[in-house]
Amino acid sequence: MSEKKGHFEKGRWVEDNAPVSVPESAPAVPTGERRTNEASHAVQMAVEGMVSSGQHLPGTPEGHDHIEQAARIAAENLERAINEWSLSARLALRRF
């Protein structure tokens, strides 16, 4: 069995003769935009969780529909507030 020369780098064995690969970086997203996207995603996940939980509670189909509709309306309001805040922040930054 032949052993190849190398060393450990960040917990992985790297052969000395192996070409060094450079990881591709994701396009840079401004911090504010990234956080806005994260907040929107969190809202969507919360709504889906609420709808899913509401479907498993004892109740009538009408009651389940009411919970789903209320959760979706709340999500729309939160999304609108997040988007308005984001737009306001971007406009404020352009002034500087």
Tell whether 61 is covered by a domain: yes
Give the residue numbers spanning the domain of 21.
6-95
Tell whether 67 is covered by a domain: yes
Q: Which of 39, 42, 28 is nearest to 83 (CA)?
A: 39
Tell whether 59 is covered by a domain: yes
* Alpha-carbon span 55 to 71, nearest angstrom: 12
Total domains present in the chain: 1
Tell whether 1 is covered by a domain: no
- pLDDT per position in the chain (96 positions), as tens? 456 777 777 777 777 774 555 556 655 556 777 888 888 888 888 888 877 877 777 888 888 888 888 888 988 898 889 888 888 888 888 887
Q: Which of 22, 2, 23, 4 is nearest to 14 (CA)?
A: 4
